[in-house]
């Protein structure tokens, strides 16, 4: 028995990929997962290239692992994910103690690559893009909770000027509809009650069916809702460009789809959206939200914002703040712009200093935080349906779960409620959580 240690950075797609890696390596009972770096025979780093200085973060981590390898030369170090796909052999040139470099679409080849390294002790590298091949090797991860994520498509065709995803994940390709439904059915049989559909541009899903037709995203959601045991459906991340009316209609007739949507807008300025190559306008985004509210009046919206994009003026920033107030976003993921190597935006002259960017980010996040608290206050005294996920970390006498709008709620209940839905009356409001009472 050999031990594997895996460190994962980035989005839910990376978390999903890591779960596949673990399942593949545990298939023949040759490997076991460990939480101790020092005890591991194989160190795996699943990287993300979205955030600033992703490459430097990678090499800092590898530097720490080099000390382990110096003590035990038999340890195998493998680097995968988006940075591995982007940098390829350059990683080995800078860190020649790395044994394996694998891509986002070749993680299923990792067991074979490990065997090759054990035999020959040469660098094994594969960052190619075999379309959906990795899903043919899919093994259902061991059940770890009552919620689960499933990748329904890979890649993106949008080529936003700031984004590396099309270069690291490839173009959009959808998994066959029947494969997706089968995987979700397996999860449901193992006790999963809430499913999160994943994709870089999830609402662009067009999965082939067994009879040669195409299953669109709106239809897929309805089919998932028909699976016994699945009582709550989420999805992330979607693009306004393809948030079509048929998807909005699903909110009218599919109550299992949560009344919460993460729909990244990135900026409230049409000028900046054009520079970002987002291919929609602020007005078109607002129109989608209006239709959604008509379809599902109690829906809450979260979004992504990039602050300080090259060319962003004070007026552009104020237009973003105006949009935040107008839509009344519940929460957001907001970041200072940082150039990603090889993207078109990295060639645009950056007109803002870091102090101004930090100031704008602070102002934006403060507006969002005020609105988040306002939404939480509206929940006071309301009845919320939550999926009970386990025992609270802060109080073993309490349980916890999540509302449809992703609020964590703690309450007093019995352990046999874990994995079930419960109705709670919200009694207290905290900054990042709620307290409820079972009714």
C-alpha span between 202 and 159 (Å, rounded): 15
Q: Which residue has 């770096």 as its token pair?
A: 37
| Residue 220 neighbours by CB under 8 Å, 6+ apart | 152, 177, 180, 197, 205, 207
Measured in degrees and rounded to the nearest 5, phi and psi for residue 111 equal -55, -45
DSSP 106-123: -GGGHHHHHHHHHHH-S-
Number of helical H runs and strand E runs in the chain: 13, 21
Q: Residues 148, 126: contact at Cβ < 8 Å?
A: no
Given a contact cutoff of 8 angstroms between Cβ atoms, the answer to whether 265 and 285 are in contact is: yes
Do 26 and 66 contact (CB within 8 A), yes or no? no
Reduced DSSP (H G I as helix, E B as strand, rest coil) percent helix, strand, coil of the chain, to 5: 40, 25, 35
Kind plus residue range of the DSSP H or E element containing 171: none
Mapping DSSP to helix (H, G, I), strand (E, B) and coil, where does residue 92 land? Answer: helix
Determine contact, residues 375/369, Cβ cutoff 8 Å.
no
> Is position 82 annotated in a ligand binding site?
yes
Helix (H) or strand (E) holding 68: helix 54-71
Q: How far apart are CA 417 and CA 399, in angstroms?
A: 9
Q: Is 177 annotated as a binding residue?
A: no
Query: Long-range contacts for 207-210 (Cβ within 8 Å, ≥24 apart)?
Result: 207/152, 207/153, 207/174, 207/175, 207/176, 207/177, 207/180, 208/174, 208/176, 208/177, 209/176, 209/177, 209/178, 210/176, 210/177, 210/178
Binding residue per annotation — 156? Answer: yes
In whole angstroms, what is the distance from residue 397 CA to residue 216 CA? 45
215 annotated as ligand-binding = no
d(CA 59, CA 38): 19
> Does 11 belong to an annotated binding site?
yes
> Within 254-411, where are the H helices?
270-276, 282-295, 314-327, 354-379
Annotated binding site: 11, 48, 82, 156, 160, 163
Annotated binding site for [4Fe-4S] cluster: 11, 48, 82, 156, 160, 163
């Amino acid at each position: 028995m050999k031990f594997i240690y895996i460190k994962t950075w980035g989005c839910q797609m990376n978390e999903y990929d890591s779960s596949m890696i673990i399942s593949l390596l545990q298939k023949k009972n040759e490997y076991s997962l460990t939480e101790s770096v020092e005890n591991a025979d194989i160190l795996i780093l699943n990287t993300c290239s979205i955030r600033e200085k992703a490459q430097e973060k990678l090499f800092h981590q590898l530097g720490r692992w080099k000390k382990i390898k110096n003590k035990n030369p038999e340890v195998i170090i493998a680097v995968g994910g988006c940075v591995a796909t982007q940098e390829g052999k350059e990683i080995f040139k800078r860190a020649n103690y790395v044994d394996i470099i694998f891509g986002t679409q070749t993680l299923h080849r990792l067991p074979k690559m490990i065997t090759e390294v054990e035999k020959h002790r040469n660098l094994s590298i594969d960052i190619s893009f075999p379309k959906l091949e990795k899903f043919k090797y899919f093994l259902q991860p061991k059940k770890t909770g009552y919620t689960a994520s499933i990748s329904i498509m890979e890649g993106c065709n949008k080529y936003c000027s700031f984004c590396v995803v099309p270069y690291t994940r490839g173009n959009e390709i959808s998994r066959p509809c029947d494969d997706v439904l089968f995987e979700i059915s397996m999860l449901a049989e193992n006790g999963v009650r809430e499913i999160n559909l994943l994709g870089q541009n999830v609402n662009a899903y067009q999965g082939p069916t067994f009879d040669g037709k195409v299953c669109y995203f709106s239809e897929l959601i309805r089919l998932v809702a028909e699976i016994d045991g699945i009582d709550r459906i989420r999805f992330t991340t979607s693009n306004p460009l393809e948030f079509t009316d048929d998807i909005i209609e699903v909110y009218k007739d599919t109550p299992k789809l949560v009344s919460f949507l993460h729909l990244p807008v990135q900026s409230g300025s049409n000028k900046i959206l054009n520079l970002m190559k987002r291919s929609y306008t602020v007005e078109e985004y607002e129109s989608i939200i209006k239709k959604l509210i008509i379809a599902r009046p109690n829906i809450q919206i979260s979004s992504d914002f990039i602050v300080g994009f090259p060319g962003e003026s004070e007026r552009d920033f104020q237009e973003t703040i105006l949009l935040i107030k107008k839509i009344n976003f519940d929460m957001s993921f907001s970041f200072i712009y940082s150039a990603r190597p090889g993207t078109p935006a990295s060639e645009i002259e950056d007109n803002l200093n870091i102090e101004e960017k930090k100031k704008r980010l602070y102002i934006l996040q403060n507006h969002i935080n005020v609105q988040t608290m306002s939404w939480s206050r509206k929940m006071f005294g309301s009845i919320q349906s939550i999926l009970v996920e386990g025992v609270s970390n802060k109080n073993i006498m309490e349980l916890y779960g999540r509302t449809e709008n992703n609020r964590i709620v703690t309450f007093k209940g019995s352990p046999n409620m874990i994995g079930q839905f419960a109705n709670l009356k919200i009694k207290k409001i905290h900054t990042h959580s709620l307290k409820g009472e079972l009714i």
